[in-house]
Amino acid sequence: MKKSFLKSFFADKKMVGSMTPSSKFLTQKMLKNVDFKKAKLIVELGPGTGVFTEKILENLSSDAHLMIFELNDGFFENLQKRIVDPRIIWVNDSAEKIHEYLQKNGFLFADYIISSIPLANLPKKITENILSDSYSCLKNQGKFIQFQYSLLSKKLIDNQFQTVHISFTPLNIPPAFVYTCIKEK
Ligand SMILES: C[S@@+](CC[C@H](N)C(=O)[O-])C[C@H]1O[C@@H](n2cnc3c(N)ncnc32)[C@H](O)[C@@H]1O
């Protein structure tokens, strides 16, 4: 999918998902199954204003990396100005291209993918591309952790991952579901 084509969808606020940054409760739920001691590469999809980014960096080992995909130019530039950290690999491109950027940066697999992409608002093909690229880029037993405001994308997520756990967080605006998906080869 061409970057310019995808960007045209941002004319619609639905592509951002919510204008309210995620709460600390949702942040905790999203990151509680991340083993920061072992993680060498974490990929974050759709950081927006960076609530998850900050917590990831607080816990990330000094020799590990965080690869960030943010397609929205405004969010991307603001975040890049605000958070300066040599462990970050910045990507102002679509979350469909994880494999391409892993290769470009000399990585084979990611340990975790932390995703805020509003999957249910995107065209089905883009959602499928993001899920299949995420799956193929994770190491065996790696985790794809995604929040959503509905269960509308459950079927597409179940189609891609063998093991999917869902938990609910009422303490967020709007309340959110967290999918923790494990890659089992
Ligand atoms: C709901 S916001 C999440 C913001 C933040 N992580 C939070 O939890 O508060 C979703 C983000 O995903 C980004 N996004 C949407 N589609 C994308 C894509 N295909 N590739 C990369 N980022 C995308 C949007 O620009 C937006 O920043």
What one-character DSSP code corresponds to residue 140? Answer: E
Q: According to the model, what pLDDT value does residue 1 have?
A: 45
The distance in angstroms from the start CA to the end CA of the chain is: 27
Sequence-distant (≥ 6) Cβ neighbours of residue 102 within 8 angstroms = 41, 43, 67, 108, 109, 110, 137
Q: According to the model, what pLDDT value does residue 7 have?
A: 57
Q: Is a pLDDT exceeding 90 seen at residue 54? A: yes
Q: According to the model, what pLDDT value does residue 20 have?
A: 85
Q: According to the model, what pLDDT value does residue 14 have?
A: 63
Average pLDDT over residues 26-44: 98
Q: How many CB atoms lie within 10 A of CB 90?
A: 15
Do residues 82 and 50 lie in contact, with contact meaning Cβ atoms separated by under 8 Å?
A: yes
Encoded tokens for 128? 């499928």
Q: Using the atom order of ligand 1, give the atom closest to the CA of residue 9.
A: 16
Q: Give the CA radius of gyration of the chain.
A: 15
Q: According to the model, what pLDDT value does residue 185 have?
A: 76
Average pLDDT over residues 20-24: 93
Q: Is 72 in the pocket of ligand 1 (CB under 6 A)?
A: yes
- Best residue among 25, 45, 96, 134 to mutate for probing ligand 1's pocket (most ligand atoms within 8 Å of CB) is 45
Q: Pick the most confident of 9-13, 15-19, 158-162.
A: 158-162
Identity of the residue numbered 185: K
**170 prior amide bond cis, ω within 30:** no
Q: Ligand 1, atom 24: nearest CA belongs to which residue?
A: 16
Q: What is the CATH number of domain 3-11+40-182?
A: 3.40.50.150
The residue that leads in pLDDT, 44 or 6, is: 44
Q: Is 133 in the pocket of ligand 1 (CB under 6 A)?
A: no
